[in-house]
Amino acid sequence: MRVPKLIRILLLGFVFLSLGFIRDFLFLNVNEQTRIAYYHSSDSQLAPSLHFLTAYSYSKLYYLKWALTFVFSVIYMGLSVGIVKVLFAGKKYLRWTVFAYTFLIILAGIFWYGGYLAGHSENGYLISRFLMGMAQGPVVLMVLVPAFKLMDVHSIDQKT
């Protein structure tokens, strides 16, 4: 039995939205524990369900954040591919979606590493963080869907 297109879009949209809340909850708590570890503070506001984070050092939490950033970006890419697959026929749209996410991730890496090499690691980090933030939310999809619709309209206009 084939699930109707509207139901698939609603389910994928719900997962997309839910993932945002999960990501936010996780990162707020990792950031909180990072603050506690860095300042050796005792006034923790860490959620009880993530108490295991107290076992990690500041540096481990710092690298955990980068790993989680990459993982969430890949998950968002997968969900975006799923939504694009439901909305548009043709593999070119899937390739463009994967390309957009891959480009953002690589560009973020270039800015992060380039800032480090140039002695401006804070500036490189800020740009990198902004780009990775785009890859972990609806922004890419909000740009791609209208662009793909325009591509469809343009290809129909050329056929007539």
- Give tens-digit pLDDT for 12-36: 999 999 999 999 999 999 999 999 9
Domain that holds residue 73: 5-159
When divided into structural domains, the chain yields a total of 1
pLDDT tens profile 60-95: 999 999 899 999 999 999 999 999 999 998 899 999
What CA–CA distance (Å, rounded) separates 145 from 80?
10
Contact 67, 25 (CB under 8 A): no
- The structure's pTM equals 0.88
Inter-axis angle of helices 91-117 and 121-134, nearest 10 = 160
